Each structure stands twice: as structure tokens, then as C-alpha cells.
């Protein structure tokens, strides 16, 4: 039996991982209490039985998407080409969560697209497409589709890439996976109308092969996206439309809240920066 194998993490849940290596799937654990592995990581594993192994080392990453609260991080996916933020008209989506995801994408240097699912809910979808109309001009394409009826708008964007689906619970990420990967066993679950939120049907990240060149990572639904790893002084740089105005404020330490002579606030007043985006920035900045 080989002492070390080069593999790909295809599923993660707590300290448990599935790794594809040497033509098979290995059930793996981390060495000791190490938990710094993500779905999409390339790793070296040491087999301990015909189907089990220990992860010994993570190979160099191209990027890493994660969220954080005080003193704790949750790794989402590694080595991805793009982030697909999934929204839907029902249950009510949080636009602030969308903006938090986009900030995390900018921080990780990963392109992001926005996918409005459940487009068959016509009137509500029309309203949300209008609300989302500010994002394409910021570099975030917006796609409208239905996982249950028509996923064709998304398919060309995925081809030849490794993409990760992120978003709040109930937006239909698992239904998208089931539509894109016919043999996926992803559970769709039911939406709790009483709580106006989706039940968490995906408990760990899972990587699927749409074809040999195209990979899709489904991540657990979330209600919050912590950004404690981002310093307050760096946040404005992670809003693309803010960048032309950074350094033009009257005060060098301007936080773009209510300071006089703020170039970004002036850009909001003249319509160069949208109100929802400055509100999102201020909400994230103030915790």
C-alpha cells in the first residue's frame, strides 16, 4: 500500500472528509484536531485501511472562501474559479447577506455571479430582478432561472470551471445541484413557511463533477456570513464602486459614515453609488 496519495477533497463535514485519490473515494480524518481543510483542497493522504486514510498535508491553494465570527472560521471551498450567490423570491432573501458574500468574494479574489432562482414566481422575481439591476454594472452578472424548469442560463457560466454555490437556506441550491448533476443525491428539503426560512438540508460542502472539466461545490445554507477576518480599514476597498473615490475624502481616516467632506458620501448623493450598497457597507462596518 502506498504511503502517501495525492487526492481531492470532495466532501467535508466537521472533522470528516471524503477524498478522491488513486481511483477511489477514501473516508478521511484530519491529523489530531487540525481542521484547516476545505472542499476543493488538494491534499496528501496516508491510507490506514483499504478505504480509510488520514489527511497529512494541504497542497498550495489558489484561493480560499471562508466566513468568520470572533475567534472561529468556517471554511467553505478552496481552489474555485467563481462564486455563484443563489437568491430566490421565496423565502425572503437578505440583500445584506448577498453583499456580505460579495465582499468575501472580493477579499478572496474570486469572481462572483448572482443567480436568481425560482423565476417561475413571476411577479416576485420581476421585483427582485429590478432590485438586483445595480449589480451587473459593478461586475457581478445576474442570471434569472428556475432549477425546476430551466437551468440553461447558468450552464454556460459553469462550463470548464470549478464553481461554489453559496446563499441562505431555502434558496434552492440543492435543487440546482440536482438539475445540473442528474446522479446527485442532494436533498432538497421543504421550506418552513412559518419561519420564512429554509431548513438546512446540506450539512457539509460537497463537490460534484458535471463533466471531467466542470466541477460544482454545494455549500450549506446559511443565515449569516461573518466577516470578522476583514479589517475595518480594508472594507471600502472591497466595494468596487468605492475604489475611484478612496483617498479623496477630507480626512485620511474617513470611515464614510457621517464625516464632512466624504467623497464616497458625495458619490451617493450624486447617484454614482447606490443607497443599498452604502447601507450594506455601513452595516458590515458597524458589525
Per-residue pLDDT reduced to its tens digit, 120-176: 998 999 999 999 999 999 999 999 999 999 999 999 999 999 999 999 999 999 899
The position carrying cell 462596518 is 285
Looking at every residue in the chain, the average pLDDT score rounds to 91
Do 154 and 193 contact (CB within 8 A), yes or no? no
> Based on the number of CB atoms within 10 Å of its own CB, is 282 exposed (0-12), middle (13-18) or buried (19 or more)?
middle
Do 116 and 143 contact (CB within 8 A), yes or no? yes
pLDDT value of position 188: 41
Do 215 and 188 contact (CB within 8 A), yes or no? no
Residue 44, φ and ψ in degrees, nearest 5: -105, 130
d(CA 96, CA 54): 39
d(CA 40, CA 63): 10
Give the residue among 132, 143, 138 at the shortest CA–CA distance from 241: 138
Sequence-distant (≥ 6) Cβ neighbours of residue 38 within 8 angstroms:
9, 12, 64, 65, 66, 75, 76, 77, 78, 205
Q: What's the whole-model pTM score?
A: 0.91
pLDDT tier, 34 (very low <50, low <70, confident <90, very high otherwise): low
> pLDDT tens, 272-283?
999 999 999 999
pLDDT at residue 33 tops 70: no
Q: What is the mean pLDDT of residues 197-224?
A: 82
pLDDT value of position 226: 94
Q: Cell numbers at residue 57, please?
A: 498535508
d(CA 154, CA 104): 22
The helix, strand and coil proportions of the chain, stated in percent and rounded to the nearest 5, come to 25, 30, 45
Q: What is the CA radius of gyration of the chain?
A: 20
For the chain, helix (H) and strand (E) counts, in that order, are 6, 15
Range 53-86 burial, b when 16+ CB lie within 10 A, else e: bebbebeeeebbbbbbeeeeebbbbbbbbbbbbb
Q: Cell numbers at residue 147, please?
A: 432549477
> pLDDT tens, 51-94?
999 999 999 999 999 999 887 899 999 999 999 999 999 999 99
Q: Domains in the chain, start-ordered, CATH in brackets?
A: 5-58 (2.40.50.140), 64-218 (3.40.50.300), 232-285 (1.10.40.50)
pLDDT at residue 194 tops 60: no
The secondary structure element, H or E, covering residue 127 is helix 122-131
Give the residue among 39, 42, 37 at the shortest CA–CA distance from 8: 42
Amino acid at each position: 500500500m502506498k504511503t502517501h496519495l495525492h487526492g481531492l477533497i470532495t466532501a467535508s463535514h466537521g472533522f470528516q472528509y471524503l477524498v478522491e485519490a488513486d481511483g477511489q473515494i477514501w473516508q478521511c480524518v484530519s491529523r489530531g484536531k487540525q481542521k484547516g481543510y476545505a472542499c476543493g483542497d488538494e491534499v496528501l493522504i496516508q491510507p490506514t485501511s483499504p478505504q480509510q486514510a488520514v489527511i497529512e498535508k494541504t497542497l498550495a491553494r489558489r484561493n480560499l472562501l471562508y466566513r468568520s465570527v470572533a475567534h472561529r472560521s468556517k471554511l467553505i471551498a478552496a481552489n474555485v474559479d467563481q462564486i455563484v450567490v443563489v437568491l430566490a423570491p421565496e423565502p425572503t432573501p437578505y440583500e445584506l447577506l448577498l453583499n456580505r458574500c460579495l465582499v468575501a468574494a472580493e477579499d478572496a479574489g474570486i469572481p462572483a455571479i448572482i443567480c436568481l432562482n425560482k423565476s417561475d414566481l413571476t411577479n416576485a422575481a420581476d421585483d427582485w430582478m429590478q432590485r438586483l439591476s445595480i449589480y451587473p454594472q459593478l461586475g457581478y452578472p445576474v442570471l434569472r432561472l428556475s432549477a425546476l424548469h430551466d437551468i440553461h442560463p447558468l450552464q454556460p457560466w459553469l462550463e470548464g470551471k470549478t464553481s461554489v454555490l453559496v446563499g441562505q437556506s431555502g434558496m434552492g441550491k440543492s435543487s440546482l445541484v440536482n438539475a445540473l448533476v442528474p446522479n446527485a443525491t442532494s436533498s432538497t428539503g421543504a421550506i418552513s413557511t412559518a419561519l420564512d426560512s429554509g431548513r438546512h438540508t446540506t450539512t457539509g460542502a460537497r463537490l460534484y463533477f458535471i463533466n471531467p472539466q466542470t466541477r460544482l461545490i454545494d455549500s450549506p445554507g446559511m443565515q449569516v456570513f461573518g466577516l470578522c477576518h476583514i479589517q475595518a480599514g480594508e472594507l471600502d476597498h472591497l466595494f468596487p464602486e468605492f475604489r475611484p473615490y478612496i483617498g479623496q475624502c477630507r480626512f485620511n481616516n474617513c470611515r464614510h459614515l457621517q464625516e464632512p467632506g466624504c467623497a464616497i458620501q458625495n458619490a451617493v448623493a450624486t447617484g454614482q453609488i447606490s443607497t443599498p450598497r452604502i447601507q450594506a457597507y455601513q452595516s458590515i462596518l458597524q458589525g
